[in-house]
Copies of this chain bind each other. A is one copy, B any other.
């Protein structure tokens, strides 16, 4: 920067001012400075700036995984909105490991971020105290229904499970199953199951639950479905923890010659792109993937401007009724 200043024959602080608030510099010098910047190919040093101002344009985001298209879409939307306001995303993924979250929080906090976005409400005690003393805006996303540390943007997975159950019950199904990937570690999949189970219990139906060993492995979903139907031939409908699992279930039905939804109704979660072209089209639940990103960006930007905005937003889900269930 001092080189730029020298070449433009102004002081370094004028250059700094020009970079941050160009209209407060006289147009004559502004022009000279810009020329010098171009000539030297000057790139500002963000760390020096951040240190001096003890602020950074970083927003940390912690998600379980970026390979689930849900989260990837939220991240892309969030990034697009936040970038427009001059912020950078620092993304961490826990791979569903709670101890990783603490480590990530620590590492992100050491960057002096302007804000932090977490997935869900479940954090270690240490994480919470770390966050408490940092006093930056925190958003917990992709869930709703608990108190929250600061702001919350998401939806109730319990309600989502109930919604699906009620839909199936209304259509006369009584014996159901929940087919899940990551059931032990994914607290939100478990919540959906709980809502599903509770609604079914209320009306005297039955539910069994099965967990896939790996990630959302479509082939394994098929095998699991087979053994499930073998043990519980009364099963009439399956609610899957995501659309990929549901796709695996549908393919298995096709291979077994089980009609959908005649022999077995299949419901997914995610409303991924492909769900409208399966045969038959898949009934699924649409979570507000992008809306979550949009709302978080808005909340964060407002808060960082000083506004004290609403802190809890329930975006709900939409049940997309097609033909599979």
Contact = CB atoms under 8 A, between A and B. Distances in A.
Interface stretch (A102-110, A137-145, A229-237, A298-306): A102-110
Interface of A: 41, 43-48, 50-51, 56, 65-67, 69, 72-73, 75-76, 79, 88-91, 93, 95, 106-107, 109-112, 129-130, 133, 215-219, 221-222, 244, 247-248, 251-252, 254-255, 273-274, 276-279
A289 to B, nearest CB: 10
B65 A93 contact: no
A43 B110 contact: yes
A238 to B, nearest CB: 15
Given A47-B51, A218-B277, A247-B277, 10 more contacts: A43-B130, A45-B112, A46-B111, A46-B112, A51-B51, A65-B76, A218-B274, A219-B276, A219-B277, A248-B277
Contacts of A41: 129-130, 133
A112 B45 CA distance: 7
Contact of A279 (B51, B215, B255): B255
Contacts of A107: 88
Contacts of A274: 218, 244, 247-248, 251
A254 B279 contact: yes
Given A218-B277, A254-B279, A90 B93 contact: no
Contacts of A72: 66-67, 72
Contacts of A129: 41
A93 B73 contact: no
A110 B254 contact: no
A119 B251 CA distance: 34
Contacts of A247: 274, 277
B91 A89 contact: yes
